[in-house]
Amino acid sequence: MRLTPFAITFVLSLAPVIAQADSVGAATAENAIKTAVASPQRSPKNIARDIYRHPVETLTFFGVKPDQTVAEIWPGGGWYAEILAPLLRDHGKYIAAVPPGKGHDAIVALFAKDSPRFGKAILTTLQVGKVSDIAPPGSADVVLTFRNVHNFLKAGDAASAQFFADAYRALKPGGVLGVEDHRLPEDAAGGLEISSGYIKRSTIIRLATAAGFKFDGESPVNANPKDDHNHPKGVWTLPPTYALGSVDHAQYEAIGESDRLTLRFVKPR
């Protein structure tokens, strides 16, 4: 079909309007994230780590919006849950996929302690190395995992592959998998991925693409050039863990938290 000059002009005139609508949506989402991060209800200990974890930039890069269904894998002590659950409470859904045991009990206790913030959060069971319905198939807009892929890798390549398969199944077509983890240099010995807590970019991309994901981008927001990735007790030598206790505490405090990868993957439509 050939367009008349008038039709071409009309179509071209719509382009700025469409682009503006998209940018307004992104700006609105970023402002909502900023509001959630700035909440005085967050734990002071968690707020103190914002300088290392960059939650506004990280969640914006992953495309998180307050009307989405977002599943967080293995939320640990609830650092990101404290931001995501309130962010998604009114117009979206926050799903925490938690392994059985102490971690599960801790998250249940956290959520029960403050039902106005966490009362609408949904808990699902994550079983490392086993098929896990972290969210109903094809229901999630975004699946997020922060510093967990190295833990799956400790359980073996099959356990890692299973996680990525579970995430793929949970996501809608076009949905996003956001991965943050401790960066291991590509020329480092592979065995360090098991012992140090650091993981290679190529390993994460290999596992994700094998599950069907397409690599969609990388952000330097959580990179830390002060971290040389070589510490007596791996990544846990650094804050916030300080595995060596008072030994060289000031040195590791000056480095700060680990150098981290921030990778975005998409489930093809």
Candidates 74, 201, 90; CA nearest to 144 is: 74
**Is the distance from CB of 50 to CB of 82 less than 8 angstroms?**
no
Query: pLDDT per residue over 146-200, tens digit each?
Result: 999 999 999 999 999 999 999 999 999 999 999 999 999 999 999 999 999 999 9
What pLDDT score was predicted for residue 19?
A: 38
User: Which tops the pLDDT comparison, 25 or 112?
Assistant: 112
Instruction: State what percent of residues in the chain have pLDDT above 90.
Output: 85
pLDDT at 70: 98
Whether pLDDT at 98 is above 60: yes
Angle at 183 between CA 181 and CA 185, to 5 degrees: 160
Q: Quote the pLDDT of residue 9.
A: 42
Task: Return the DSSP state at 2.
Answer: P
**In terms of pLDDT, which residue wins out, 48 or 4?**
48
pLDDT value of position 101: 87
- Mean pLDDT score of the chain: 91
Interatomic CA distance for residues 266 and 261, integer angstroms:
17
- Regarding predicted confidence, which is higher, 12 or 171? 171
Q: Provide the β-strand partners of residue 260.
A: 182
Instruction: Summarize pLDDT for 197-228 with one digit per residue, the tens.
Output: 999 999 999 999 999 999 999 999 999 999 99
Instruction: Between 45 and 24, name the one with better pLDDT.
Output: 45
More confident residue, 64 or 1: 64
Report the domain count for the chain. 1
Q: What's 92's domain CATH number?
A: 3.40.50.150
How far apart, in whole angstroms, are the C-alpha atoms of residue 89 and residue 234?
A: 37
Residue 8 has pLDDT above 90, yes or no: no
Rounded average pLDDT over 68-96: 96
Q: So what's the pLDDT on residue 26?
A: 86
Which of 22-36, 83-97, 195-209, 251-265 has the weakest average pLDDT?
Answer: 22-36
Tell which residue, 46, 135, 45, has the closest CA to residue 88. 135
Q: Supply the pTM of this predicted model.
A: 0.90
Residue numbers of the domain that contains 18: 5-266
CA distance 31 to 34: 5
**Cα 15 to Cα 23: distance, rounded to the nearest angstrom:** 12
Please name which of 206, 203, 132, 144 lies closest in space to residue 169, comparing C-alpha atoms.
132
Within 10 A of 259 (CB to CB), how many other CB atoms are there?
Answer: 21
Residue whose tokens read 């707020």: 47
Per-residue pLDDT tens for 101-157? 888 898 999 999 999 999 899 999 999 999 999 999 999 999 999 999 999 999 999
Q: What is the pLDDT of residue 195?
A: 95
Total length of the chain:
269
b/e sequence 152-164, b meaning 16+ C-beta within 10 Å: bbeeeeebbbbbb
Tell me the Ramachandran region of residue 73: left when phi exceeds 0, alpha when psi lies from -120 to 50, beta otherwise: beta
Alpha-carbon distance 263 to 26, whole Å? 19
Structure-model confidence comparison of residues 119 and 243, the more confident one: 243
Output the pLDDT for position 239. Answer: 97
Closest residue by Cα to residue 70 from 132, 121, 6 = 121
Report strand pairing: 260-266 vs 214-218: antiparallel
- What count of Cα atoms within 13 Å lies in the side-chain half-sphere of residue 227? 24
